[in-house]
Amino acid sequence: MSQASLPSSVVPGDWLGILGGGQLGRMFCHAAQSLGYKVAVLDPDEHSPAGAVADLHIQAGYQDEAALARLSERCKAITTEFENVPALSLETLADNVRVSPAGAAVAIVQDRIQEKAFIRKAGVPVAPYVAVRQSEDIVTAPDTLFPGILKVARLGYDGKGQARVSSRAEAMAAFEGFQQAECVLEAMLPLASELSVILARGYDGKVALFPSAQNEHRDGILAVSTVDDSLLDASLAGQAADAAVSIAQALEYVGVLCVEFFVLRDGSLVANEIAPRPHNSGHFTMNASASSQFEQQARAMAGLPLGNTDSLCPVVMLNLLGDLWFAENSGTAREPDWAGVLAIPGAKLHLYGKAQARPGRKMGHVNVLGATLAEARVRAQQVAQILGIEFRP
């Protein structure tokens, strides 16, 4: 896109819109409002976290034509907070208003079969896999895919819709358990670590990259993200950044994008999946970067210059799941010791305003800052002990 053909900037004071009312939308609202924008949220939940802080909450389904029309009439630019919003809704909105990311890009990421093929076509390695559309695809799958992981092609997240399988028989049983929904079967690889790259890309094609985060998952849910230059080999970090930019450019992506990677024991890198939105592993940017991922989301969709992504200090991000609201073993409801957490120097608490805590539900996060990585880890260990979170410095 040439500079002459770029859309004009949406200036502070105007309206920005977002599809989705979860915590990512809530944090986007805060960032956009701090820049002076008014924000409209379209979400069916009367008590959505984003709807509670937005300037306007349009309570309706994502395919409600009247609601989409109302959103596009009010807003100068619209984005999404999650990848499973109907791509057709984004395309419908794009008939009348600027939408980023585009529905076509989101449609690719919504389907693991399309997503993996797209990543590979962009020149980025992925784990060996086959598309599973019928049981025969498991029968004919290469032996090298076992042991493997069977993942539903659509609507899976945070470990849901996934099954580890050591044999064809187990894969067949899992496929039946998923009601024969389309899946991908991918080989389990010898992992050394996991990392993610968060970037923002503007309408002018310019890209701003945040430092890579090293991630630890438990039960398929992100538990800890750690960011410091000393964590990753510079060459490996460069490979991951280049791969993420290649994917964003191939998608002609505008907005904030996350690419998750596996680092294998031999030092090689493979892409796991793409998130067409701000990402849990990028929450560290709220306190440890010159610009947060949510501010970048607002800047990109508004056509403004992207912000500076320099790291301010080492940081450890701890996810807060609903389990913390229940006493261990007894299951008795309790309120976590927030005063104790906030007494730790460098601890920055972010709660998402969800009324009901449930085990496994993302309720908030804590960014723990330090002058050095060692200091951040010591402080994170103190926070984890107060809350009863498993943490290995």
Annotated binding site for ATP: 112, 151, 156-162, 186-189, 194, 217, 272-273
- The count of other CB atoms within 10 Å of the CB of residue 235 is 9
* DSSP at 49: T
Query: Which tokens hold the place of 192?
Result: 């050394």
Helices and strands: H and E segment counts in the chain? 12, 18
**Known binding residues:** 112, 151, 156-162, 186-189, 194, 217, 272-273
Q: CA-to-CA distance for 46 and 52, rounded, in angstroms?
A: 9
Query: Which tokens hold the place of 179?
Result: 């009601």
Rg of the chain on CA atoms, in Å: 21
What angle in degrees, to the nearest 10, is found between the helix axes of 23-34 and 293-302? Answer: 70
Q: CA-to-CA distance for 292 and 119, rounded, in angstroms?
A: 26
Q: How far, in Å, are 24, 198, 228, 278, 387 from residue 352 at the CA level? A: 9, 21, 26, 15, 17
What single-letter amino acid sits at 351?
Answer: L
- The count of other CB atoms within 10 Å of the CB of residue 218 is 13
SS3 state of residue 135 = helix
Query: Which tokens hold the place of 332?
Result: 């008795």
* DSSP at 306: P
